[in-house]
A = this chain, B = another copy of it.
Amino acid sequence: MKYIAGVDIGGTNTKIGILDEEGDIIIKKSIKTLSLDGVEKTMMRIWETICELLREKNINIDNLEGIGMGIPGPVKNQEIVGFFANFPWEKNLNIAEIFKNISGKITKVENDVNVIALGEAKHGAGKGSKSSVTIALGTGIGGGICIEGKIISGFSGAGGEVGHMKLVKDGKLCGCGQRGCFEAYASATGIEREAISRLKVNKTNELYKKLNGQIDKLEAKDVFECAKEGDKFSLDIVEYESEYLAMGIGNILNLINPEKIILSGGVSLAGDILLDRVKEKLPKYAMGVTLQDGFKIEIGILEENAGIYGAAALIG
């Protein structure tokens, strides 16, 4: 029996799982990333945890085929990380080589959101589809394009960075420093900005009541909760969100024409109240042909395990 380790490195926590030949996670553990200790120590700690998990399952280390890793940043050739989004590590580090030197095992690295997309494509909502684009709607918006089982990583490792597609010329300022990005409108932060801005001038609504007037405490999920309870003010914000989401997804459909769009991340948990509106608005933005032949837009199903599954899918 052969095994693969899937590692999902995040800003705070790193999730590590061991998968068997059927592709099932047989054991997993979350450790602190502690990136301030430096790249070598973090990688050592990850390798020690992999060994510990193998021991717990009485698996001989020789039966570990390789390690797949998802990491925040653009990754070239599944080995070199252009820069790290959250870690104080140097640029253009060959993480695959560093980890191979520590472990003696084949190691492949990919951008964290690309890895989530690969996970959903192979083991999640996209299973059985020839192509899918996964859009991770959280604090920001990330994405991954998966065609016939392969991630479109891009020339500099920035493939699938859908969040920085511009929807509005000279539009709202984005965290990236540019203007009018999809992320500035349709991420959780985008929803929060819009809601806060509207609450400044309208306080007679359920959302304001829910927050007890503490506007700065507002989170995107508060908007969805009030909308589900029928608050007109919150429903209007959901309309706003779904309009830009449909525009962004429409653009992806016109360029990539995938079999499936998979929404993941915190905002996707809003569920049907958002998804139904997006579906209704898509024909305004996507060419008709891209919405036919059984095209589907769905919510991701792997949740916190998507990264482990996708990282492991880089191997073999």
Using a CB–CB cutoff of 8 Å, the interface residues on chain A facing chain B are 74, 82-83, 130-131, 143, 145, 147, 152-162, 164-169, 176, 178-179, 243-244, 247, 250-252, 254-259, 284-285, 287, 289-290, 292-293, 295
For A145, the chain B residues whose CB sits under 8 A away are 255-256
Which of A82, A165, A179, A254 has the most chain B CB within a 10 Å cutoff? A254
For A159, the chain B residues whose CB sits under 8 A away are 255-257
Q: A159-B256, A287-B176 are in contact. Are A251 and B154 (CB under 8 A)?
A: no
Please tell me which one of the listed residues B82, B162, B176, B251 contacts residue A166 in the complex, with CB atoms under 8 A apart: B251
For A74, the chain B residues whose CB sits under 8 A away are 289
For A257, the chain B residues whose CB sits under 8 A away are 152-159, 161
Q: What are 11 of the A-B contact pairs (CB < 8 Å)?
A: A154-B258, A155-B293, A156-B290, A156-B292, A156-B293, A158-B254, A161-B254, A162-B255, A178-B284, A178-B285, A251-B251
Complex formed: what's the CA distance from A289 to B75 in Å?
11
Instruction: Name A160's closest neighbour in chain B (CB-CB).
Output: B255
Instruction: Name A250's closest neighbour in chain B (CB-CB).
Output: B166
Q: How many copies does the complex hold?
A: 2
> Is the beta-carbon distance between A168 and B169 smaller than 8 angstroms?
yes
Q: A287-B176, A289-B74, A293-B156 are in contact. Are A169 and B258 (CB under 8 A)?
A: no
For A293, the chain B residues whose CB sits under 8 A away are 155-156
Instruction: Name A295's closest neighbour in chain B (CB-CB).
Output: B155
> Is the beta-carbon distance between B154 and A290 smaller than 8 angstroms?
yes
For A243, the chain B residues whose CB sits under 8 A away are 169
Q: Distance (Å) between the CB of A126 and the closest chain B CB?
A: 12
Q: Distance (Å) between the CB of A280 and the closest chain B CB?
A: 15
Q: Distance (Å) between the CB of A57 and the closest chain B CB?
A: 37
Q: Distance (Å) between the CB of A158 and the closest chain B CB?
A: 4
Which of A82, A145, A252, A289 has the most chain B CB within a 10 Å cutoff? A289
For A292, the chain B residues whose CB sits under 8 A away are 156
Q: A178-B284, A247-B166, A255-B145 are in contact. Are A82 and B289 (CB under 8 A)?
A: yes
Complex formed: what's the CA distance from A13 to B273 in Å?
50
Please tell me which one of the listed residues B152, B161, B290 contacts residue A147 in the complex, with CB atoms under 8 A apart: B152
Instruction: Name A143's closest neighbour in chain B (CB-CB).
Output: B255
For A295, the chain B residues whose CB sits under 8 A away are 155-156
For A258, the chain B residues whose CB sits under 8 A away are 154-155
Given contacts A155-B290, A255-B255, 15 further A-B contacts (CB under 8 A): A131-B154, A143-B255, A145-B255, A145-B256, A152-B257, A155-B293, A158-B254, A158-B290, A161-B255, A162-B255, A165-B254, A165-B255, A166-B247, A178-B284, A178-B287
For A289, the chain B residues whose CB sits under 8 A away are 74, 82-83, 156-158
Instruction: Name A171's closest neighbour in chain B (CB-CB).
Output: B169
For A176, the chain B residues whose CB sits under 8 A away are 287
For A244, the chain B residues whose CB sits under 8 A away are 169
Complex formed: what's the CA distance from A120 to B191 in Å?
42
